[in-house]
Copies of this chain bind each other. A is one copy, B any other.
Amino acid sequence: MELGLIGLGKMGGNMRERIRQAGHTVVGYDRNPDLADVGSLKELVETLSAPRVVWIMVPAGAPTQSTVDELGDLLSPGDLVIDGGNSRWTDDKRHAEQLAFKGIGFVDAGVSGGVWGLQNGYALMVGGKAEDVAKVQPIFDALKPAGDYGFVHAGSAGAGHFAKMVHNGIEYAMMQAYAEGWELLEAVPEVTDVHEVFRSWKEGTVIRSWLLDLAVNALDDDEHLEALRGYADDSGEGRWTVEAAIDHAVPLPAITASLFARFSSRQEDSPAMKMIAALRNQFGGHAVTD
């Protein structure tokens, strides 16, 4: 089938390649003319035959919003837009309604896979109406990994990004789990080879996983991670996960602890702990009495 693809960065570019390898036609647009197949969104839309299917793969927030706005003007009733970027799931409903008002369909797709995606496929979590999802299914089949898994129609508009967001929240806490265990093992002199302990866990254990494999790879390169700073960004989806939990009164202690650990990792010094130190100073003689 024929697909318009907007945003040809690291992710989008590889996705175009993988979709083409599956025999589909992809017309790509990017602000960077070196990457693009066409010179404008307008040209992209004109190049595609109706009913058109256009996949947005640009940063979440304003860039996605303006692309949805433009497509709303350019596309025709019966066309379909997929947002495959990292949009917040609460944006999807708004986009779906905005486009539905013009007779244009909408599907949101959470995409996992990163640098391995081109070769191994991208896990896809999608939301939207069944008939809209069906229209894109050949593309989803081209992008997903080869096996039985890696694709789900999770629910209505927003459900795809919601599922991907929760995936990332789980990822935060799993990474934190390994990280805490690693720190503790490194802290005791009796355990002399933490690197090999991690490697041994790759088979026969309850905690074997792809993330564990990555951890072993990292320790292969730098056994005590001496070249790294304990500094971790967060991508937004961890925050949204906690906010969604708060909205639904769902307790998420481990995922939230993982998010807060990242916040703390980025502080030169902790303001809160300054206050703790200040209070301890106020006690005076706290060595004996606090």
Interface residues of A (CB under 8 A from B): 9-11, 86, 89, 111-115, 117, 120-125, 127, 144-145, 147-159, 162-163, 166-188, 190-193, 196-197, 199-212, 214-215, 217-219, 222, 225, 228-235, 239, 241-246, 248-267, 269-290
Q: Which residue of the partner chain, among B206, B246, B273, B287, contacts A242 with CB atoms under 8 Å? A: B246
In whole angstroms, what is the CA distance A285 to B239 when docked?
Answer: 20
Which interface residue of A180, A186, A263, A271 has the most chain B CB atoms within 10 A? A180
Would A253 and B244 count as touching, CB distance under 8 A? no
Known contacts A174-B174, A203-B149, A204-B122; is-contact A179 B275 (Cβ 8 Å): yes
Known contacts A152-B199, A283-B115; is-contact A228 B184 (Cβ 8 Å): no
Q: Which residue of the partner chain, among B182, B197, B263, B273, contacts A249 with CB atoms under 8 Å? A: B263
Q: Which residue of the partner chain, among B111, B149, B163, B183, contacts A275 with CB atoms under 8 Å? A: B183
Would B163 and A248 count as touching, CB distance under 8 A? no
Per DSSP, chain A at the interface is helix
Q: Report the nearest B residue to A10, measured CB to CB.
A: B285
List, in ascending order, chain B residues with CB within 8 A of A184's CB. 166, 169, 241, 244-245, 248, 250, 252
Which interface residue of A149, A182, A273 has the most chain B CB atoms within 10 A? A273
Known contacts A193-B154, A235-B287; is-contact A270 B265 (Cβ 8 Å): yes
Would B179 and A273 count as touching, CB distance under 8 A? yes
Q: Which residue of the partner chain, among B255, B267, B281, B289, contacts A113 with CB atoms under 8 Å? A: B289
Please name 4 further chain A to chain B contacts, defined as beta carbons within 8 Å, in addition to the given A151-B200, A184-B241, A184-B250, sorted by A numbering.
Answer: A147-B203, A163-B197, A181-B255, A253-B257
List, in ascending order, chain B residues with CB within 8 A of A201's CB. 123, 149, 167
In whole angstroms, what is the CA distance A144 to B201 when docked?
Answer: 11
Pairs A–B under 8 Å by Cβ, sample size 30: A10-B285, A11-B288, A111-B289, A113-B204, A114-B284, A115-B283, A117-B204, A123-B200, A124-B200, A125-B200, A144-B204, A150-B203, A152-B197, A153-B196, A154-B197, A167-B181, A168-B206, A170-B180, A171-B206, A176-B253, A176-B276, A177-B177, A182-B271, A206-B211, A215-B278, A228-B277, A228-B281, A230-B273, A235-B290, A265-B270
